[in-house]
Structure formats: C-alpha cells, structure tokens
A and B are shown apart, each in its own frame.
Chain A
Amino acid sequence: MRHPTRPSGGPGYLDGVRAAAPIGIAAFAFGLSFGVLARSAGMGRLAPVVMSLTTFAGSAQFAAASILAAGGGVAAAVAAAVLLNLRYGPMGLSAASTLEGPWWRRALTAQLVVDESWAIAQRDGRIDRHLLVGAGLLLVVGWVGGTAVGVLAGDLVADPASLGLDAAFPALFLALLVGQIKGRSRLLAAVGGALIALALMPVAGPGVPIIAASLACLVGARRS
C-alpha cells in the first residue's frame, strides 16, 4: 500500500491517536457498558461486538439495544438508531474534501467518523485526515474492545456513570468547541446550534435536536 504523504509540519496519524487517548478510556468504559446492556437485552455475545464494529456509534447502539430489550420491535429499534446517526451525514460531508484514494477507500475511511474523532480532527474549519484516522482507529479499538470485554465479563465491572465518565463527553466537546470559536460568525453558529438543540430536546425524539442544530452552520453561507 502506498503511504499517503503529508505536508511537513502537519499532524500525523499518531497525533490523532494521542489527541483521542483521554476520551479513548471513556469510550472503552462505555463500550463495556454497552456490552453488558446488550447481553442482558438478550443480544447474545457476538451480535453486540459486530454491532460496535459496523455501527460504531454509541448513542444509536444504546438506543437500539434498549428498545429491543423493552420489546419495542425491530422497526422501532432501527428507526431510532438511524435517526440518531443521521448527523453523520453532514459530518461525513464536511470530511469529504480531505479523504483520498479510490471510492472504496474513501468510504472505508469515512467509517471512522464518530462525534469524538470528527471533533478532534477539526483544523482551521476543515477536517485533517491524519487526525481523523488516528483518533478514529483508537476509538474503534476502545469501543469494540470494551464491548467484547463487556459481553464476556461485564458483571465484574463498575457502572461508568459512578466513575463520572458520562461527564467526560460533554467536557470534551466543550473543550473542542472553545478552540472553534474564532470570530463572530462561528460564535453565532455555536449559539444557534445550542439554542436549536435546547429548544427541540423537550419536544423532539433523541437525534432530531442535533440534526436540526446542524442548520446553524448556514450562518457561514453568507456571500463574502
């Protein structure tokens, strides 16, 4: 395989791995708790691991597993999960211009887009492919590995919430958001996104507020 070149001084794959390390621990812990939940929801041992590898999106997997556990049926589980993952449409689009190679390799690399890797890979309003791949690979290993440990030995471990790990995610997004606020229009996009999410959370199903919040990016579409 040809090694992709990178401009000297730009971030490499390892920088992405390093940047994602703190949140990789939380991803492992939540992968673990997904494994435990999925097992107790009657999903068996293999299906949760396959799901973590192919879907690779925490909230959608938790939603699908808990709907199945509650007897909500396949259609409801799939619909909820797909709705939660629709945000990867705009995220994937924003990563599109930085991906390289034949279509299958670009489609494969795009699978590494998940909230945390996408957020970590932001550089000057664009996605850095090396950061995305490095961070994404670490998160896949943590998430799938955590799921596997969870389905096999889940009863032995503590609830990640008791360790405060659920607070690690909003903190990560806040820290990365602070780095994004450069100039009035980006501040406006952030305020708009937060307000749209706040307004819709009480009335719309999970997933919808975040999709709708992406519309706040249109403040950047003004004629310059």
Chain B
Amino acid sequence: MTAVWVTVAAVGLATMAIKAAGTLLVGDRTLPPRAQGALEHLAPALLAALVVSQALGGSGGGFAVDARLAGLAAAAVALVFRAPLLLVVTVAAATAALVRALA
C-alpha cells in the first residue's frame, strides 16, 4: 500500500511541476520571435503525433493495428464532408465498436 501512495505522490508532484514549468519560467515575458514561431507550430506537430500514437500505439509500446484504425478512417471521411466535431468523434467510436462486434 505504501508503494502505491509513494507512486501516486511522486507521479503527481512530477506532473504538476512539468505542467507548471512553462508559465513559471517564462511568466509574462514575451518570447523572442523565433521561439514564438516554433511554439505556433507545436500544435500541428504534436497533434499529428497524437493521431499516430493513439490510433496505432500498442499498450506496451510499438504498433497495434485494430478497430481504432477503422474508426479513424471513418472520422477522416466525416471530415471530408465537413462534419462537426461531435459527429466526427461519434462516427469514429461507432465504427470501431461495429468492427469489434463483427470481428
């Protein structure tokens, strides 16, 4: 039980520190233009990486191809038709659920 609480405390404190580091280090100072330019490109870079890792990541690392990929493909089709976010997410979940039910 002690091991559990040590883990919870250590992970919690480390995560809180990581999340707060940016604002505590930078404060309200304006970043140099090149750093600002890089940060404005962080969203596309990280979002693309999150799509890849959430759709293809295995539970212990590496790749795992499963129904999530069918869900993502369905979401892409919904996006082509300019569906709203709620519909895109719902279509993805429903497709993955359907593929799993049929498999």
Contact = CB atoms under 8 A, between A and B. Distances in A.
B45 A189 contact: yes
Contacts of B27: 96, 103, 106
B87 to A, nearest CB: 9
Given A164-B94, A174-B72, A186-B44, A47 B4 contact: yes
Interface stretch (A9-17, A137-145, A204-212): A204-212
B46 A87 contact: yes
Contacts of B59: 66
B61 to A, nearest CB: 5
Given A119-B47, A173-B54, A77 B7 contact: yes
Tell me the interface secondary structure of chain A in the complex. Answer: helix
B15 A56 contact: yes
B26 A173 contact: no
Interface of A: 19, 21-23, 26, 42-44, 47, 50-51, 54-57, 60-61, 64, 66, 68, 73-74, 77-78, 81-82, 85-97, 99-100, 103, 106-107, 109-111, 113, 115, 119, 122, 125-126, 161-178, 180-181, 185-187, 189-194, 196-198, 201-202, 204-206, 209-210, 213-224
